[in-house]
Amino acid sequence: MTMLLRSRFCANLRLPLTLPSSTRLLTTPTSHNREHGHAGRVWSWGIGVDGKLGHGDQSLVTCPKIVDELDGCRVQAVSCGATHSVALLKGVSNGQVFAWGSNFYGQAGYIPEHSGFFDEDDDDQVSLPTRVKGELTNEDVVDVACGDYHTVALAKSGKVYTWGGGLLGNASELNDSNPQPLTFFHDIGRRVLSISAHGPTTAVLAVPSGNLTAPLEVYAWGYIAAPNGTLLKATSPVLLAGALKSRVESVVAGRGCLGVISVDGQKRTCTVFGVGGGRAPRDLFVEQKSENVVDILEGQQSGVVHWGTGMKKIAFGDDFGLLLQENGTLNTLRLSSTATVSDPEPLQLTNIIDMSIGPQAVVCLDSAGQIFAWGDEFLFSQSKQDEPKSWWEIWRDRGQEQHKEQVQKKSLIDKIVTEEPRRVGVCQGARGVAVGWDHFLCRGLDQAGDI
C-alpha cells in the first residue's frame, strides 16, 4: 500500500493555491458574529491533541468547557472531524465558517503566510477558531459538515465547497487547503439543497436548477460499502439510482452507508444503502484497492425503517444507528453484516433533543442541557480537577483502555443497550451536539431563546 502524503510534501499532488495576503490572515470572530441579548455559545471537551478543542492548548478536558473565542457568537451549526472542528457563525450579512484543530491535510482550511515546502509543524495546527476564507469569503454559507479529514460547506447560492484530504468530489484524491466549489453540479444543471458527511463518505440532495419543485436526487462520493463485501470508491459525485423511485426528503451519510429518508403522505421511512459491505477505512490516507464508481451508483437496499410521523433525526455508526423521535425518545437500530437493518428498539432516555455518533462514543443532549454519553471510558476517566497528562500518558492510557475493550469484546451498540449512560455535564441553553473520534462539541445559548 502506498501512503498519500499531504500536498505540500508530495510532488504528484498539487500545492495549495497562494491567496492574497489579505485573505490569509488568521481571523477570529468579531462583534459582527456576536448576538446581543440571546448570545450563542460553544462548549468542547475530549482529547485536545492538535488543538481541536479550540482552547489554545492541547489539554485533555473531560467536562464541557466554553470555547472563549466563540462566546457570544451566533453559532448555527458545529461539526467534528477526526482531528478538527468546524462551526458555522452567522455574520451581519452572511454565514461564515470557522475551523480549528489539525490542518495536516488542509481540513481546517488554513494557509499560512509562508505556504510552501517543508513548513514548520506549527502551521499544521490551528488552536483557536479561525475563519476559513478564500472563495468562501463572499459566500453566504448555510451549512457545514465534517468527514474524518475533510470539510464540506453549502452556500446559499447552491454551491458546494470542499477542502481537506481524501475524496473531495473533484475527480481526484488530492489534498487541498483551499475551499473549492465542485463544478460537477453546475455542469449537470443541478442545485444542491443539503449536505451530509461522515467518515470518508459525503452525500447531498440536489434538484434541477430550473425546476426547484422537481423530485430530489441523492448524490454521494467517497467510500460506500458494496453488497459483495468490498468498498466502492467514488472520486466524483454519483447518482444513487436506488433512491429515484421514492419521494426523497433528506439524506444522511454514515461510515460507508447512506440513509435516504422519504415521505409518503404522513409516513416517513429511511431506506439504508451500503450495509453489509466492507468497513469504510479508518485510515483514509492509505490507498484502498477499490472499484471506482462513475456517474451512477445502483445501490442495493439493505433495509427500511418505518416510524410514522414522529421522526426527528437518524444517525449511523459502524454497525448500528440511532433514531430520535420528536417526543424525545431514542431508539437503536442494528446494521448486520448480512445486509439487514433491525427494527427500532427503545432506550430509557427521555426529553432528548439531539444526538451524535462517533467511532468511539455516542452523546445525547436533553432539553435541560444535560449531556449523556456512552463509549470509550478513557474519554471520561480524568476528573476536571486532575492535572493535565503528558502526551505519552494520554496515549499509553488510551492504548490500555482499547486493549481492555478488545478483550471484553463489547461493542459500542452493546454498551448503549446494556449500560446506563454517563452524565458528562450540563450546557445550559444547548441546542445541538457533535462527536469526532475523541472529542465533542455542543452549541447553544447562554440564556433562553433561539438563534
Write the DSSP string, 365-391.
Answer: EETT-EEEEEE-GGGG-S-TTSPPPPH
Global pTM reads 0.83
Q: In this predicted model, what pLDDT tens digit does every residue of 397-435 receive, in sequence order?
A: 656 665 555 545 688 999 999 999 999 999 999 999 999
Find residue 270's DSSP bridge partners. Answer: 261, 305
CA–CA separation, 406 vs 404, rounded Å?
5
Beta strand residue intervals within 265-329, DSSP E: 267-273, 291-292, 296-297, 301-308, 311-316, 320-325
The bridge status of strand 231-240 relative to strand 291-292 is: parallel
Question: What pLDDT sits at residue 435?
Answer: 97
Question: What pLDDT sits at residue 281?
Answer: 43
Question: Measuring CA to CA, which residue among 105, 188, 98 is closest to residue 136?
Answer: 98
Read off the DSSP letter of residue 5: P
CA–CA separation, 43 vs 55, rounded Å?
10
On whether the CB atoms of residues 425 and 416 are closer than 8 A, the answer is no
On whether the CB atoms of residues 131 and 98 are closer than 8 A, the answer is yes
Angle (nearest 5°) at CA 19 between 53 and 174: 70
- Return phi, psi of residue 229, to 5°: 90, 10
Ranking 12-26, 217-231, 379-393 by mean pLDDT, the lowest is 12-26
CA–CA separation, 185 vs 176, rounded Å?
19
User: Which of 242-246, 333-337, 418-422 is predicted most confidently?
Assistant: 418-422
CA–CA separation, 317 vs 187, rounded Å?
33
Question: Binning pLDDT at 50, 70 and 90, where does residue 283 land?
Answer: very low
Q: In this predicted model, what pLDDT tens digit does every residue of 80-92 receive, in sequence order?
A: 999 999 999 998 7
Each residue of 184-216: b (16+ CB within 10 Å) or e?
bbeeeebbbbbbbbbbbbbbbbbbeeeeeeeeb
Q: Which amino acid, one-letter code, is at 407? A: V
Question: What pLDDT sits at residue 6?
Answer: 47
244 exposure class (CB count in 10 Å sphere: 0-12, 13-18, 19+): middle
Collapsed DSSP state (helix, strand, coil) of residue 68: helix
Which carries the bigger pLDDT value, residue 378 or residue 354?
354
Question: Binning pLDDT at 50, 70 and 90, where does residue 294 land?
Answer: low
Each residue of 356-376: b (16+ CB within 10 Å) or e?
bbbbbbbbbbbeebbbbbbbb
On whether the CB atoms of residues 372 and 363 are closer than 8 A, the answer is yes
Q: In this predicted model, what pLDDT tens digit does every residue of 97-124 receive, in sequence order?
A: 999 999 999 999 998 766 555 554 446 8
Angle (nearest 5°) at CA 94 between 91 and 97: 75
